């Protein structure tokens, strides 16, 4: 048994072990407290593995190709960050690098560090602390804002040159949806239940 506060009415109550496929409801208001889904870690883990592949792809492949006359210029995510630094905007380049590469990469690695051992009924050193810090890191995961800026830029630059989206654009778009689906598929209560589970 463990204590849980209802998200709707804040009633603190003891929750007995919930059988697979069943759910626990609040004794006061009847709201859903938790649901024990069979093999619940397999789906987010599969999504995170797909996210890792997409993360590598949007960093390794061309992002946009500019064509004007006989000139062809390919850009990558890293080249855009380097160009900002070369143009005298190192702080902006560092901010873009953090929000586009570092924070999403750490977010992905932290999720994998927690979910791989949990799915194998094991513990990794500090995994519960890492899981707690995931909530602090999530607001800095702003890849979708970058994509919005790219779309606006593509519309404005379309009159000046032919712009061809590269593999990285589609990989980054898929990465946004895959990471959102993985975050939604993880039930935090099931992770915290492993805190007192035997190794």
Residues 5 and 23 in one domain: yes
Residue 65: beta bridge partners?
Answer: 74, 164
- Whether residue 136 is contained in a domain is answered as yes
Q: How far apart are the C-alpha atoms of 126 and 152, rounded to whole Å?
A: 42
**Secondary structure (DSSP) of 65-118:** EEEETTEEEEE-HHHHHHHHHHTT-HHHHHHHHIIIIIHHHHHHHHHHHHHHHH
- Whether residue 199 is contained in a domain is answered as no
DSSP secondary structure code for residue 161 in this structure: S
Residues 94 and 34 in one domain: no
Q: Do 78 and 55 contact (CB within 8 A), yes or no?
A: no
- Whether residue 183 is contained in a domain is answered as yes
Instruction: Map residue 7 onto helix, strand or coil.
Output: coil
pTM for the predicted model, two decimal places: 0.76
Residues 15 and 95 in one domain: no
Residues 12 and 56 in one domain: no
Residues 33 and 49 in one domain: no
Residues 26 and 48 in one domain: no
- Whether residue 198 is contained in a domain is answered as no
Please give the chain's pLDDT, 199 residues, in tens: 667 788 788 888 887 777 777 778 888 888 887 777 666 678 889 999 999 999 999 999 988 888 887 788 888 888 888 988 999 899 988 988 888 888 889 889 999 998 888 888 788 888 888 888 887 777 766 677 777 777 777 777 777 778 888 898 899 889 989 988 888 888 777 777 666 554 4
User: In the chain, count of helices (H) and strands (E)?
Assistant: 8, 7
Q: Do 100 and 108 contact (CB within 8 A), yes or no?
A: no
Q: How far apart are the C-alpha atoms of 45 and 119, rounded to whole Å?
A: 8
Residues 132 and 175 in one domain: yes
Among 91, 65, 59, 47, which Cα is nearest to 186's? 47
Residues 96 and 172 in one domain: yes
Residues 129 and 64 in one domain: yes
- Whether residue 9 is contained in a domain is answered as yes
Longest dimension (CA), the chain: 71
Q: How far apart are the C-alpha atoms of 158 and 126, rounded to whole Å?
A: 49
Q: Do 191 and 100 contact (CB within 8 A), yes or no?
A: no
Domain span including residue 1: 1-38
Residues 62 and 28 in one domain: no
Looking at the structure of the chain, the number of domains it has is 2
Residues 83 and 43 in one domain: yes
Q: How far apart are the C-alpha atoms of 182 and 42, rounded to whole Å?
A: 10
């Amino acid at each position: 048994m463990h204590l849980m506060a209802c998200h709707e009415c804040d009633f603190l109550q003891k929750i007995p072990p919930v059988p697979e496929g069943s759910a626990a409801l609040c004794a006061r208001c009847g709201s859903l407290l938790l649901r024990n889904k069979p093999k619940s870690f397999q789906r987010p883990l599969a999504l995170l593995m797909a996210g890792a592949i997409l993360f590598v792809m949007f960093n390794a492949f061309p992002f946009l190709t500019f064509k004007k006359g006989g000139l062809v210029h390919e850009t990558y995510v890293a080249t855009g960050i380097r160009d900002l630094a070369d143009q005298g905007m190192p702080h902006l380049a560092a901010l873009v690098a953090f929000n586009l590469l570092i924070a999403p990469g750490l977010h992905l690695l932290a999720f994998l560090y927690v979910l791989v051992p949990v799915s194998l009924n094991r513990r990794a050193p500090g995994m519960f602390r890492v899981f707690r810090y995931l909530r602090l890191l999530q607001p800095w995961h702003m890849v979708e804002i970058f994509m919005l800026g790219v779309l606006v830029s593509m519309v404005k630059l379309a009159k000046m040159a032919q712009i061809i989206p590269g593999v990285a654009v589609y990989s980054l778009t898929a990465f946004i949806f895959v990471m959102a689906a993985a975050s939604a598929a993880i039930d935090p209560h099931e992770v915290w239940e492993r805190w007192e589970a035997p190794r």
